[in-house]
Structure 1
Amino acid sequence: MKKYRVAVIGVAQMHITTIAQSFSKSGRVEWVGCSDLPLPFETIADKPSSKKHLIPQLMQENNIPRFFADWRDLLAEKPDILLLATENTRHAEVAVEALNQGIHVLIEKPFAACYEDAKAMVEAADKSGATLFINWPTGWDPAIRTALRLVREGIIGRPIKFHYRNMESLGPFSYGQGLTPEEMAAEWWYHGEFGGGALLDYICYGCNLSRLFLGKKATSAVALAKNLVSDFAPVEDHVAATLDFGDSIAVLEGTWATFASGCVDTGPVIFGDKGTIVANRLAPEVRIYTERHIKEPSRIVPADPLPEGREDIAPEFFRTIETGLPPFEAFEAHINLEAMSALDAVRRAAGSGKIEELK
């Protein structure tokens, strides 16, 4: 099987380690090198998930041979594939340059920090013919894919409301990494000018999923953003948003301010005019409620297995570039552009306090 020359630019998003491992495990990769974009302030921590820690971790785990101080020098080596995980506001700068050179690009969520950046990337991909693929952890969840299939089969009638909230979180460094508030404040996640904050980190999931489950582009958004527990940094850590889809709505939450979720499902929860479907990223099943006034589900459907040969990031990406067939739709660029339009409207609405129309 063909091997591909692969490069990594950006270690801002810690998910890059999982993505790189998928490509390494495929046995179809020749690593060219990795690079990162410098920040105008000094990071402090050298602890798990921090930028200082992630570069050597990435290189050691995947036997990446070289670090390039300038990302443009890495692109000059003409890799076939670029794995991109820069700060959210910097995706377009790098991706457009790579796509213009005919390099296939995989971006870790969110797609971008604004609609204009996402549009520029899609246009560059369409013009060059290179693949643009946006990776979402939720796109690999069997229960979510099964719920999508069941909704489309009409088991709950016409979907009228979509609800999603992320799992309990106190921010990106609340999973045992041990960063102090001072150290967290020096990471890009807590700098709005680089796309830090809970809005782009977590509301993006609901925008992507609601586009899939409700089957079309939203029309407008309203949102409220607060800093509830992160007093060491001037970014939002909890966001509530509603998207208008005309004949349906989506209610989304993105939080870095939830100590424990309790018994509240993350979702997605899809309410139809003839029932409700509940998926949960923590359970390999879908619960279906098609009777009134019941506490237990009418049916529990085990999650479908992922398609054979397409169970992981790298093989799905290889299939896309080799066959020209679209990937699973959560990862497809034009669908993501519509979802990004919703995320951009949420961002604007959170700032203006008004209903914002989608672009």
Structure 2
Amino acid sequence: MRSLKIGMISFAHLHAVSYLQALMQRNDIELIGIADENKERVEPFIRQYGLPYYADYRELLASDADAVIISSENSRHAELTIEAAKQKKHVLCEKPLGISVEEMRRMIEACKENGVQLMTSFPNRYIPMVIEAKQAIERGEIGRVAAVKATNKGEMIGGWFNDRELSGGGSIIDHTVHVMDLLNWMLRSKAVEVYAEAGSLFHGVDIDDAGMVHVKFANGVIAALDASWSRTRAFPYKRDLTMEIVGTDGVISIDYFAQINEIYSEAGGYAEWSYWGDNKDELLIDDFITCLQEGRPVSITGEDGYHSTVIALAAYESIRLKKPVKL
């Protein structure tokens, strides 16, 4: 496989750190540098790995990089992706793909026009138990899927995540896109109606930190999702991902973060969980690079990112109208 030159743009999103760690484990790529207007945010990594730094992302895009990984604030995804496409760079973009339907369409079109690939960062697709569940559904092992109950809860990170202009919303847009991508992928059916309710219940912030999202799919499946920032800082692990997939002949239960060791330390003062399961971010990076090296389509496309995000956007519209919204 040929070596690839990869650049990273922005470390605003926490996933950037794990993506960097995954990249540094490979000997078939060259990490050409990090672009971030906030040098303090990336200084530790520049020093640790001896990487070039770009204060202006356009300078990185002017390099001979084959691809870039964008982990910026949500509101900047469109600008950065479109500029990268114009410079003929393949793109791995953090979720949600964008914060409006129009800008996501422009991102997808820009990549198509310039002959580059756009991949959306949904690492949960690489969780082995999720893959097994999808295969079991396709084999008909639980009959026809009738309903799904899911949770994707986390802690409130704060910072730009609480600024609607930068994030596009709170816990609903932050967590809905992950689960809805899995359901779009597993059910192979289009979402046709969304009803949601949200509030600020846990942190006293002026943005949704609690949300319930109900989705009807064209094949008749009804899904209910708890998308919230309800985990406190004292909770042993900061997030969860659970799915209960109910079929006419059986049920599949998924709890990704059940792969933990329990740690009781006097130093910490409270219980902690140490996760030992598969590194989904590493699996995502490996797949992105392999697809580019082999010249095949990326596994999670810009269109996939679009279809999950429109559900989150419809949830906000439902909250505003206080009624279900048709898609």
Question: Do Structure 1 and Structure 2 share a fold, with TM-score over 0.5?
Answer: yes
Once the two structures are aligned, what percentage of the paired residues are identical? Answer: 25
For residues 88 and 61 of structure 1, what CA distance do their matches in structure 2 show?
Answer: 27
For residues 42 and 291 of structure 2, what CA distance do their matches in structure 1 show?
Answer: 28
| Aligned residue in 2 for 1:129 | 115
Aligned residues: 302
Q: Which of 130, 152, 156 lines up with 1:171 in the alignment?
A: 156
- Kept in 1, the 8 Å contact 2:244–2:253? The answer is yes
Unaligned stretches of 5+ residues in structure 1: 39-50, 173-183, 285-304
Q: Which of 258, 272, 279 lines up with 2:247 in the alignment?
A: 272
Q: Secondary structure at the match of 1:13?
A: coil
Q: Which of 74, 77, 85 lines up with 2:63 in the alignment?
A: 77
Do the aligned partners of residues 31 and 325 (structure 1) sit closer, same or farther apart at CA in structure 2, a change above 3 Å counting?
closer
For residues 195 and 115 of structure 2, what CA distance do their matches in structure 1 show?
Answer: 36
| Aligned residue in 2 for 1:201 | 174
For residues 138-177 of structure 1, what are the structure 2 equivalents within 5 Å? Answer: 138-167=124-153, 169-172=154-157
| Aligned residue in 2 for 1:216 | 189
**Residue identity in the other structure for 2:256:** R
For residues 34 and 261 of structure 1, what CA distance do their matches in structure 2 show?
Answer: 32
For residues 135 and 164 of structure 2, what CA distance do their matches in structure 1 show?
Answer: 37
**Residue identity in the other structure for 2:6:** V
For residues 69 and 37 of structure 1, what CA distance do their matches in structure 2 show?
Answer: 5
What is the deviation of 1:164?
1.6
| Aligned residue in 1 for 2:52 | 65
Normalising by structure 2, we get a TM-score of 0.84
**Residue identity in the other structure for 2:254:** A
| Further displaced range: 122-131 or 12-21 | 122-131
**CA offsets per residue over residues 93-132 of structure 1, 9 Å max, x none?**
1101111221010112222222222222211222222111
Normalising by structure 1, we get a TM-score of 0.77
Q: Secondary structure at the match of 2:13?
A: coil
Aligned-CA RMSD value? 2.5
Residue 224 of structure 2 is aligned to residue 255 of structure 1: no
**Residue identity in the other structure for 1:143:** M
| Further displaced range: 213-222 or 149-158 | 213-222
Do the aligned partners of residues 149 and 60 (structure 1) sit closer, same or farther apart at CA in structure 2, a change above 3 Å counting?
farther
Unaligned stretches of 5+ residues in structure 2: 260-277
Q: Secondary structure at the match of 1:219?
A: strand
- Kept in 1, the 8 Å contact 2:171–2:210? The answer is yes
For residues 44 and 146 of structure 2, what CA distance do their matches in structure 1 show?
Answer: 45
Q: Secondary structure at the match of 1:279?
A: strand
Do the aligned partners of residues 266 and 82 (structure 1) sit closer, same or farther apart at CA in structure 2, a change above 3 Å counting?
closer
Q: Which structure 1 residue ranges, 4+ long, deviate > 4 Å from structure 2?
A: 259-262
Residue 226 of structure 2 is aligned to residue 240 of structure 1: no
For residues 23-34 of structure 1, what are the structure 2 equivalents within 5 Å? Answer: 23-34=23-34
| Aligned residue in 1 for 2:106 | 120
